[in-house]
Amino acid sequence: MKKKFPISVHLALTLAALFVALYMIFLYAPEEMTMGEVQRIFYIHVPAAWTALLGFIIIFVSSIVYLWKRSQFADELASSTAEVGFIFCTSVLVTGPLWAKPAWGIWWTWDARLTLTFLLWLLYVAYLMLRNYLINPARAANLCAVVGVIGFVDVIIDYMAIRWWRTQHPQPVIGGGPNSGLDPRMLATLLVSWVAFVFLFFLLLRVRLGLAQMRRELGDIRHILAFRASED
Amino acid sequence: MVNKYLFLAYAFTWLIFILYVWNLSRRQARLRKELEDLKRKISEPFSASTSRESKP
C-alpha cells in the first residue's frame, strides 16, 4: 500500500485538488441568481456533508467486520474514521447556519434534515466518548461497534429526509427527480470540490490510522516490559 | 467586498481542519517520542545480558 501510493503523493494530490476546487468555486462557478455569492458556501457545505455520511458508512462496515471477525484493523479503522468524520460533520454544522441566516433569515430550525444531521454529529460524539472514557479497551471496541451499526440507521434516514418529507432544507439538487438539477458549471464545481474533500478525508484517515497503529505498538512494548519486570 | 457569511463559512472550515492537523501532528510527535524511549529501554537490558553471556 505504502509503495503503491506514498503519503507524499497523496498529500500533493489533495493540495492540488483543493487548489483546483477553490479556483472553480470562486472563479469558474457562476453566481446564483437569488442568493448571490453567499450560495458559494454550498460548495463546501454539501461535499462536507457527503463526506461525513461516507465516514459513517465506513464505520458501519468496519464495525460489522469487527463484530464478525474480531479484526483489530477493522476496529482501528472504525475509530479513526469516527474522529475524521466528526471533523467533517462539525464543518457541516458550522457552514449550514452561516448559509441559513442570509438565505432563510434564521440560523437554525428543527426540521428533519437539520435535526438528523445534528443527530449524526451526536453519534460521532457518543462514539468518540465511548472510545476515550471506557477503561476496558475490548468493552469500548464492542460498544463502539454497536453504536456504529445502530447509528447507520440515522445515515439512511438523514440521506432520505429531503426526499421523504417537505423540509425547510432545500430539496436534493442531484438525483432528486425531474425538477432537480444544477447549472453544468455548478455541478462540475460541486463534484471537483467533493473529490478534493474525499482526498482530504482519506489523507487524514491514513495519518490517524498510523497513530492507532503506533499506539498498538506502544501497548505491545509495554507488555514486554511488564513481563520482563515480573520475571525479574 | 466579500460577503461576511461566505468569508466566515470558509474561514471556520479551514480553521477546523488546520486545528485538527495541528492536533494530529502533536499526538504523532508525542507517540513517536514515547515509542523511541520504550524501544531504547527494551533494547538496553537485552544488549547488556547478551554481552554478559558472550563473556568466557
Tell me, yes or no, whether B56 lies in a domain: no
Tell me if B51 is assigned to some domain. no
Closest CA of chain A from B51, distance in Å = 18
* List of chain A residues whose C-beta atoms are within 8 Å of the C-beta of residue B20: 87, 204
Sign of CA dihedral A91, A94, A96, A99: negative
**Residue B8 forms part of a structural domain:** yes
What's the whole-number average pLDDT of chain B? 82
* B55 within domain boundaries: no
What H or E segment, with its residue span, contains residue A226?
helix A184-231
Give pLDDT, residue A221: 84
B14: in domain: yes
Contact flag B31-A208 (C-beta cutoff 8 Å):
no
Question: Is the pLDDT at B47 greater than 80, yes or no?
Answer: no
Select from A122, A117, A96 the least CA-distant residue to A41.
A96
- Number of structural domains in chain B: 1
ipTM for this model? 0.88
What's chain B's length in residues? 56
pLDDT attached to residue B42: 75
Q: What is the pLDDT of residues A102-160, one digit of tens each?
A: 998 999 999 889 999 999 999 999 999 999 998 888 999 999 999 999 999 998 888 88
Longest dimension (CA), chain A: 77
Cβ atoms A193, A25 nearer than 8 A:
yes
Q: How far apart are CA A6 and CA A118, in angstroms?
A: 35
For A215, the closest of B3, B20, B31 (CB atoms) is B31
Interface touch A87/B16, C-beta < 8 Å: yes
What is the grid cell recorded at B7?
468569508
Range of the domain at B31: 4-44
The Cα–Cα gap between A158 and A49 comes to 10
Smallest CA-to-CA distance from A44 within A87, A107, A108 is with: A87
Are the beta carbons of A37 and B12 separated by less than 8 Å?
no
